[in-house]
Structure 1
Amino acid sequence: MARKLKTYQTSLGFFDLAIAAPSMKAALEAWGADSNLFHQGAAKESDDPDIIAAAMAKPGVVLRRPVGSDGSFGERAELPTNLGGSGAKKAARKSKGSQAKQLYSRPVDKAAERKAALVYEKEQKRRERERASEEAAKQKDRERRQHAVDKAQAALEKAEQEHAKRAAAIKAEVEALEKRSRTEEARWDKEKERLEAALRRVRGWSTVLSRRHPRAAPSTRIGQ
C-alpha cells in the first residue's frame, strides 16, 4: 500500500524548496541536506494549498522558487533579483498573510493525494532500479579493475620467483667456481712447493759435483 505523502518546505541558498514525500527523512534526502533541518527549525510541513498542489502534481520532485518570493514552485527557477530589498520582505509578508485564507479556500482532494502517493512510489521504485543498475555497473567495474590488479600482482610475484630462482642458481655457480678456485690454489701451492723443492735439490747436487770435479784449466804452450 502506498504511503500517504506530505508536502515539506525549506529554504536553501537562493531558493525555497518544496517536495511531496512520505516522510521528513525522504524530504531531507531529496534536498541533499547534511543535517536535520526540521529539528533546526529551517524546514516544516507546508500547509499552503498552492504549494501542496504543486508538490502533489510532481511527487518526489524537488520544486523551487526564488527565496522570499510568493511565486509558484517549479522544477526550475530563476535566481531572485531583489535579495535583501523591501520587495522580498513585502512578498514574504504577503505570502504569510494569504496562507491562512488559502488553507480553507481549497478542499483537500483525497483522490489526488492517493494518486500522488502511487506516482511517488512508482518513481521511487524506478529510481531504486536505476541505483541498483548503477551499483551493479560500478561493482562490475570494481571487479574488472580488481581482476586486472590481481593479474598484474600474480605476474609480478611469478617474475619475482623466477628472478629468485635464477639468482640462486647464479649464486650456486659462483660459490662452486669459488670453491674450485680455492681447490686449484691449494693444489697449485702444493705442486709449486714440490717443484721448488725438487729444483733446490737439483741445484744443490750440481754445486756439490762442481766442487768435487772441477774442470781442468786450458793448457798454455810456449811459443804459441
Structure 2
Amino acid sequence: MPRQLKVFRTSTGFHDAYVAAPSQKAALEAWGADANLFARGVAEQVTDPALTAEALKRPGEVIRVSRGDLAAQLKALGGKKAPAKKARVPEPEPESEPKPAKPKKRKPAPSRTRLDKAEAALEQAEEKHARERAALEREREAIERKIAELQERSEQEKERLRAARDKAAESYREALDKWSG
C-alpha cells in the first residue's frame, strides 16, 4: 500500500515552493536541497486544504506560488522608487490563502568610510616606510663606498710607509755596518 502524501512548503525568494511527498526526505530531494531545511526552520508541513490542493494533484513536482504581487516584491527589494505601474494581469489565488505580511523597510547598507580611511592610512604608511627604507639603503651604500675608499687609501698609505720604513732600515743597516767596521 503506497504511503500517504503530505504537502511541504519552503520559501524560495519571492515564491513558496510546495511539493507533495511521502516524507520530509523526499520533499528535500524534490527541492534539490543539500541541507535539512526542516531542521533550520525554513521548511514546514502544510495542512491547509486550499494550499495543498495543487501540490496533491501533481505529487513529487515542485509547485511555485508567488508570495505577493509585483509591487510588494519591488517594495521588498528596497528600491528608491517603484517603476510606473503597468497594467497587471491578476494571478488567480486561492481565496483562503493568507496574504503575506508586509516586508520591513530595509536598513541602508553599512558605511565603508572607516574601512576606506583605514586602508588609505595603511597604504600611506607602507609608502612612507618604503621611502624611508630606500633612503637608508642609499645612505648605507654611500657609507659602504666611503669605507671601501678609506680602506683603499689606507692600504696605499701603509704600502708607501712600509716602503719608506724598509728604505730607512736598509740605510740604517748600511750605516751601522760602516760604523762597526
Structure-1-length-normalised TM-score: 0.42
Higher fraction of helix: 1
Name which one, 1 or 2, has greater alpha-carbon Rg. 1
